[in-house]
Amino acid sequence: MDTITYIGEHLLPGQIGHTAVIIALVSALFTCFSYFQSNQTRNIDHKESFSWKILGKLGFLVHGISVFTIIITTFYILINKHYEYSYAQAHVSDDLAFQYIFSAFWEGQEGSFLLWMFWNILLGFVLMMRSKQFEAPVLFTISLLQLILTTMILGIYVGEETKIGSSIFTLLREVMAAPVFQKADYVELLEGSGLNPLLQNYWMTIHPPTLFLGFASTVVPFAFAIAGLWNNEHKEWLTPAFKWGLFSAFFLGTGILMGSAWAYEALSFGGYWAWDPVENTSFVPWVILVGAIHANLVAKKTGYSIRASYIFYFLSFILVIYSTVLTRSGWLGDTSVHAFTELGLETQLVILLATFILFPFGLFIYRFKNIPNPKKEESISSKEFWMFVGTVVFLFSSILILYSTSLPLINKIVKYFNEDYIGRAISDPIEHYNRYQIWVAILIGILSGFAQLLRYREKNGNSYLKKMAKPFGVIFAISLLFTFLINLWIQNPTWQHHLLLFASTFTIISNLYFIFSLDKEKLNSLAGVVAHIGFAVMMIGIMSSGLNKKYISSNPQAQRNLLPDNLLGTNALLFENSPLFLQGYEVTYLKDTLRGNMRDFLISYKEIDIESSEVIDSFVLTPNIQYDNKFTNVAAYNPSTKRYWNKDIFTHINLPPSKTNIESAQAEEDSLNYKSYQIPINETLTILDTTRDEFGETIKKLNFNIAGLNMPPKSKEYTPQDGDIAIGVDVAVQGANKKKKHNEEAIVIVRDGMVFHKNASIPNLAMKIKLNEKILDDILTPDDKIKYQQIRMKSGQEANINGYVITFDGFNKKPNHKDLKLEPNDIAVSAKLRITSPEGRINLLEPVYLIRNNQSFNLKDFKITEGIHTKLKTILPEKGEVVLEIGVTPKPNTVLLEVATNAYRNDYIILEAIELPGINLFWIGSVLMLIGFLIGLVLRMIKKRNESYAWR
């Protein structure tokens, strides 16, 4: 086979990128080795250790620069839309807005690995400067991770079959066999697939980087834990790990919450959390990390829980990797709505996971005996005891979530050993997880309210408890009172919900009491108080928005007896402009408008008081749909939400099948029975239309009237493009009852040599009207076939040509003509012509006379629908005259319309509207909780220098 020499490929960025990947890999290995040597020689030869450390720093610097080079090169390819690279072809397209280049960058797996590596490097640079005696082991761990991550984007074949990693610089022709690659100039022919429209949302530009910063930063406390074990500095690592633990919990939590916000705004399920595997696997590391922070705090304050601190920090990072493995392997299969693409990295992912399980736990077992553990047990009335119980609860919560999430994987493993095994699955994820996690929430609520009032290293437990009996009693009573009051608002709670509500109010009251009454280390405790109150508020928000959730769009009476009661639908049908009364609201679908490739649907809501029938409140929501780039499919449905301080009204829509994709539309179009009618312009024609259906024959009397032709069409449904020839015709149709005149525009468009129709639709008459393309032949006359008549005119003069009265109204020295793009030194003048047609319509035309580079040009102005064409031939300045050329083309007297009178109604939307009371409590609570972490982090950073250990 001949090798083809391709034209137009940009191979240089790929070569630079590939080289950078290799350097990144080698330098990561080198950094790893150097820091290892540095740490191993630290107590033997200080000088040697220092030299190795310098080498490590240099190695990491080179690694960082290489990874940045990879990222910059990738952006270069994406921004310049070099579709010869498969990553660019798969993730961007010509029309992608610049701000979404970032989303496109991390949409694919290779890009998200790079994002992860990017944060690791920034964190590594900070740690290189800040982690003092732990620099070598910490940076060793991070560069070990970087080493394995780099292999994921390596893209090198070992032998024929085995591929290591998937390169972001792979050329399309290397991964795809298509006839187009037989052409040397295939590059110009490629078109990008573009970014998934669901991801074209502002949350998607900030959620992934934040989440990945959270994911990436879990390696930092992990690395400090490794360092503590490795160097037998079991207490010293606790302080930096605590700070970084807070950092990581803050960013991971924020990232997850942003994901919730995106789901609530962009997805149609009307919620912020669905217990989807992708959500769970990012949530679990965070839960474990929060456990780790508690264990770490206990260890710092009391010396207990050092082992737990190690294990929890190890687990949180391992679970981040586990999450990576699950979501990138395709093993979750059919349990998630998220689309997973398999890159064949399974083996490498398992190696990554195994490395980071064996390494820390091996070290842990090896050093186990050296880890300090106080002989004396914690007192049962001490704070640390109950905090420890809390961390165990976190662990349980995580195990339960992980077990259920991993079911597909467990099924696969069991099936491998036992072929007859029937896989288990969760039938209703939300119900399933909530049922168990409610207990976790109850326990956490009670523990955080109770333990907050206890003291660390309690020696006089009994007398303290006696002293606290009264405040405890008061707090308990107040909490009960509030639980009762909130219960009046929450609907249909079970006793578990009552308990959770009590636990939440108890936490709030107890923490408030703590911060206002107990007088020690107030500022230090602020972080915990805010975070715990946030947690409790969030729980109340989850209950109120979940239990009080009301489907406005459900219409139980209208449901036919087709479905069992538990499957009653939550969607309502809304015809355009016919109000529907639903659950206390009068809902009307007003209209829809096209905006770019979006279509907005205006839906008006009027809340009506049932007794007085008065409108209490009214608002308009605009859910919209987004078409794909070719307008052939609806690519995304975007909900719209009305926000009140106390509730949200969430709305999303579905469209009639024929409006969702071109195949259904075509199928429906094909089923229509079009009949042709020659309809005179400006005259009313009455048609007797016979339709046959299952009920027999109906004869309808229809009056047609064509008011005029439009070029370009007037309708907003038509979006002009350069080079279009488009004609619209205004049709007025009146049914036999003569009640209402329907005015619509039918359009025909010639674009890139193809003919398109935009049919007029009159749902009330079940009618569709198509403008036959014959109209184009009728009125389009090539310019050389037009007979022009020359006339000379002075300003203000009139002339009559074939019944057209032409008045020359003087010159326009700043002409505006659609074909005129002025260049410097151009001289352009137009003649202002007022032309009255034989029918008496006035048209203003401005033919242009242009002098460019000493040559003169005439730009014609015309109005095809009036059959008039004008040119400004020359100007005779000495006489104050212009020489005009006027051409007249025939105007059609009739228009050929194709009319179908058996069209389906499609002037409706399918609406789902949900009222979510108290959902703001969820957002406020979760943000408060994150602020708690942030306060903790800032406080630690401020007093970092004079930190001391109480138990030393």
Where do contacts with other proteins occur on this chain (CB under 8 A)?
A: 89-91, 172, 176, 178, 180, 188-196, 334, 337, 339, 341, 377-378, 380, 385, 389, 392, 396, 399-400, 403-404, 407, 422-428, 432, 435-436, 439, 559-560, 562-564, 566-573, 633-634, 637, 654, 656-657, 660-661, 663, 752, 904-905, 908, 910
CA distance 280 to 330: 16
Tokens of 457: 């290293």
Least gap, CB of 312 to other proteins (angstroms): 15
Least gap, CB of 178 to other proteins (angstroms): 5
3-state SS, residue 806: strand
CA distance 530 to 249: 15
Q: What pairs with residue 731 in β-bridges?
A: 706, 744
Least gap, CB of 341 to other proteins (angstroms): 6
3-state SS, residue 316: helix
Among residues 427 and 948, whose Cβ is nearest to other proteins? 427
Among residues 559 and 618, whose Cβ is nearest to other proteins? 559
Among residues 359 and 575, whose Cβ is nearest to other proteins? 575
What DSSP state is assigned to residue 457?
A: T
Among residues 44 and 754, whose Cβ is nearest to other proteins? 754
Least gap, CB of 568 to other proteins (angstroms): 7
Least gap, CB of 818 to other proteins (angstroms): 21
Least gap, CB of 945 to other proteins (angstroms): 36
Among residues 153 and 475, whose Cβ is nearest to other proteins? 153
Question: Parallel, antiparallel, or unpaired for β 598-608 and 615-621?
Answer: antiparallel
3-state SS, residue 66: helix
Among residues 410 and 801, whose Cβ is nearest to other proteins? 410
Among residues 564 and 796, whose Cβ is nearest to other proteins? 564
| Distances in whole angstroms, Cα of residue 883 to Cα of each of 196, 204, 805, 873, 874 | 57, 61, 16, 5, 5
* Alpha-carbon 502 to chain mean position: 36
Among residues 90 and 937, whose Cβ is nearest to other proteins? 90
Among residues 60 and 585, whose Cβ is nearest to other proteins? 585
Amino acid 914 reads I
| Distances in whole angstroms, Cα of residue 181 to Cα of each of 6, 96, 171, 194, 599 | 9, 25, 11, 21, 37
Among residues 30 and 637, whose Cβ is nearest to other proteins? 637
Least gap, CB of 427 to other proteins (angstroms): 4
CA distance 297 to 386: 13
CA distance 119 to 210: 10
Least gap, CB of 552 to other proteins (angstroms): 14
Least gap, CB of 191 to other proteins (angstroms): 5
CB atoms near residue 880 (< 10 Å): 10
Least gap, CB of 310 to other proteins (angstroms): 17
Amino acid 329 reads S
Among residues 39 and 302, whose Cβ is nearest to other proteins? 302
Contact criterion met (CB below 8 Å) for 481 and 509 = no
Least gap, CB of 334 to other proteins (angstroms): 5
CA distance 420 to 944: 59
Residue 343 contacts by C-beta under 8 Å, 6 or more apart in sequence? 109, 110, 166, 328
Contact criterion met (CB below 8 Å) for 580 and 586 = yes
Q: Look at the alpha carbons of 870, 874, 878, 879 in this order and tell me if their dihedral is positive or negative.
A: negative
Amino acid 312 reads F
Among residues 307 and 497, whose Cβ is nearest to other proteins? 307
CA distance 372 to 545: 47
CA distance 19 to 16: 5
Least gap, CB of 742 to other proteins (angstroms): 20
CA distance 20 to 14: 10
